[in-house]
Every structure is written in C-alpha cells, then in structure tokens.
Amino acid sequence: MSSLPKKVVRFDGWIDPVFDRRLAAERDIALGICPVAGDDDKAWALLSGAHVYQVSSIKDELPSQWFADASLLQRCSKLLCVSSTGAGYDTVNVQACSKAGVAVVNQAGANAVSVAEHTLGLILGVSRRMLECDRRMRRERGFAREDVMGHEMMGKVLGLVGIGQVGTRVASLAKAFGMKVLATDPCLSTEEIGRRGAIAVPLADLLDASDIVSLHCPRDRSTLKMMDAQAFGQMKRGAIFISTARGGIHDESALVAALQSGHLAGAGIDVWDQEPPALDHALLGMDNVFATFHIAGVSHEARRNVAEMAAEQIVQLLQGSKPPRLVNPEVWPEFMERYITIFGRTQCAPEPTK
C-alpha cells in the first residue's frame, strides 16, 4: 500500500466549513486551496498534483480556464475525480473526463428540500401576485386591492418537467395545497412517476393542461432551449412558468415575448443565461416576474448538506470504494486501474474488471 498523500484541491470560494473539517480528519488526505484569481501559477501548481478536484458548478462564478475540460485534464495527469458542487455540472466536460479515466461525482439531492421549498415560494408569490403588490406599495398609491388580485393554488394543475428528487418533493408539497400534479420525465416509467406523486403525461399534454409549469430537469443537449416560443405558445393562456432548474433550458427572449403579449400571466425565475442577469434585462423590468439569483438551493442547511456529502464521497473514493452519485459509472473499471497504479491496492479496492 502506498503512503503517497492523497491530494484534494478546491478554489477559495465559500464552502461550508464541514467540507474542510471532514477531509482534515483523514490522515492521508491533504487539502489544497487555490486562489480563483490573482495567482494562476499557484493554482496550476496545486491542480497539476491533485487527485480530486472539487469544482463549482456555477459557470458564471468560475473563470472558464478552471472548467474541468480536456485542456485542464491534460495538465492534471494525476487527477482521478472531479466533484461538482451540488446537482449540476455545467463546468465539467463529462465526456472528456470519461475519456481520461476520471470519475465525476455530484451531490444531487443534497439541496432538494431547499430547491423544492423555493419553487413553492415562487409559485405562491406569482400566483397570489405578492411581489407585484409589494413593488406597487413601495412606489405608488391609488391602486385597488383588486388590481393585484391573484389566484388560489387549490384545484390548479401543476406540470413538472422532470420528477427527480426535487420534482418529487415539489409534487408532495403541491398535494398539500390541493393541486393536481402532472409530470413528464424520459428517465422514468409511468408507474415510477405515479409512485413519485404525479400523473405521467407527454410534454405536449402537460403544457396544454397545466396552470403552472415548473422545470426540474437537467441542462444538457436534449433540454437546451426546450422551452422555446412554440412551447410557451402551447401553454394555457394565463398560465405561469417557473424554473429552478438551470439557465438555458428556457429561451429568455421567448419568455419575454410570452409575458409581454399577455399569453402568460407571470413567471418565477431563479436561473438565467448569465448569472446574475444584466440590470436592464427585460424580465427584471416586469412586475409579474419573481426574479431570484440562483438561490433555490442556497440555504444554510443545503450548503452544509452539499459540503458534507461531497467530503464523504471524496473520502470514500480515495479509499478505493465506489461512491454514490457517480455521474459516469462506465469509467469505474479504468478509474480503479489508475487508482491502483498511483496508490497501490487498499482493503476497499477490488480487482479491476474488464
């Protein structure tokens, strides 16, 4: 067994202290913290010797040179794993990692409660026009209460595009408000969607029948600009659109047009093409848009859960054991071969399989 220290590297952005404390409890793991700006030489020196790279998944918070892509992997030949903070992995080229024998993990589900609660907050805020009322009260007098009269959620149809861990929790919360829940998810059977609390329908039927459409699907090539002008046109007149998923899944220009025309009654948007959006973004100028800054999964509890899960995954992986939330499971045999070459066999490391 090798006594070579196992090196984990992260940038100096905020992370719950439980991450650093958990890794410090392992005698054979050394944590290096890179400056995200101002000292590229130091950052590359640490990254080039890293076995695990804990990377932010927020593409607009991390300079692109630090994305886990083919060029970074080429400079980091010892890298065994990239751990993408949270559920998304927009800053990670999974295909390039798999080609290099690098495992990719995320912490999907660790912030599901927070995202689901935020989703319901957006739905309530837009449905009852709370934000419109708040804004108007701060700048004008003379409007009637009926001018900002909204709708109850009771009896309305909620359509979930994606019913993973977040979508399942949203379905459960929506049922408490007396809503009917529809869902579409290409990864799940009709029976499984039913077990998760929704009625399975095709996307076209969901758009046509829902009073509120909420996105909970990953951002990938199959979902980019999925909610375009045609999709918004399929939604009911007077319906509401919500997204706490990822920027780019909905076409922002098409959403602006659907709201300006009056076809949609309002929107709750937590995710943006550019984060944060420009101050003069058209959606930010609309009183019927509840806008937040990608904070659905940002709560004290969620951040602690994500950091704790990430640290446990890393410890498990560096012991030679397959971790949960492995994004590219097909890479595991090659990962184990590289692991054994670097560290030697451990009690957790099985024979690699071909």
Q: How far apart are CA 18 and CA 173, in angstroms?
A: 29
Q: Does residue 204 share a domain with residue 127?
A: yes
Q: Does residue 151 share a domain with residue 138?
A: yes
- Cβ atoms of 219 and 246 within 8 Å: the answer is yes
Q: Does residue 209 share a domain with residue 63?
A: no
CA distances from 335 to 6, 84, 104, 351 (A): 15, 17, 10, 12
Residue 20 pLDDT: 97
Q: Does residue 281 share a domain with residue 222?
A: yes
Would you say residue 42 lies in a domain?
yes
Would you say residue 191 lies in a domain?
yes
Domain boundary among 248, 271, 291: 291
Q: What residues in the chain have per-residue pLDDT under 50?
A: 1, 347, 349-354
Would you say residue 349 lies in a domain?
no
Would you say residue 312 lies in a domain?
yes
Backbone torsion region of residue 18, taken as left when φ is above 0, otherwise alpha when ψ lies between -120 and 50, otherwise beta: alpha
Q: How far apart are CA 299 and CA 112, in angstroms?
A: 11
Q: Does residue 129 share a domain with residue 105?
A: no
CATH number for 266: 3.40.50.720
Residue 2 pLDDT: 55
Which helix (H) or strand (E) segment holds residue 314: the answer is helix 300-318
Q: Does residue 161 share a domain with residue 185?
A: yes
The end-to-end CA distance of the chain, in Å, is: 23
Q: Does residue 131 share a domain with residue 279?
A: yes
Query: How many structural domains compose the chain?
Result: 2
Residue 3 pLDDT: 66
Q: What is the residue-wise DSSP string for 125-170?
A: HHHTTHHHHHHHHHH-----GGGG----STT-EEEEE--SHHHHHH
Q: Does residue 245 share a domain with residue 130?
A: yes
Q: How far apart are CA 308 and CA 303, in angstroms?
A: 8
- Cβ atoms of 239 and 264 within 8 Å: the answer is yes
Catalytic residues: 246, 275, 294
Phi, psi of 101 (to 5 degrees): 75, 25
Q: Does residue 322 share a domain with residue 203?
A: no
Residue 90 pLDDT: 85
Q: Which domain holds residue 86?
A: 6-110+300-343
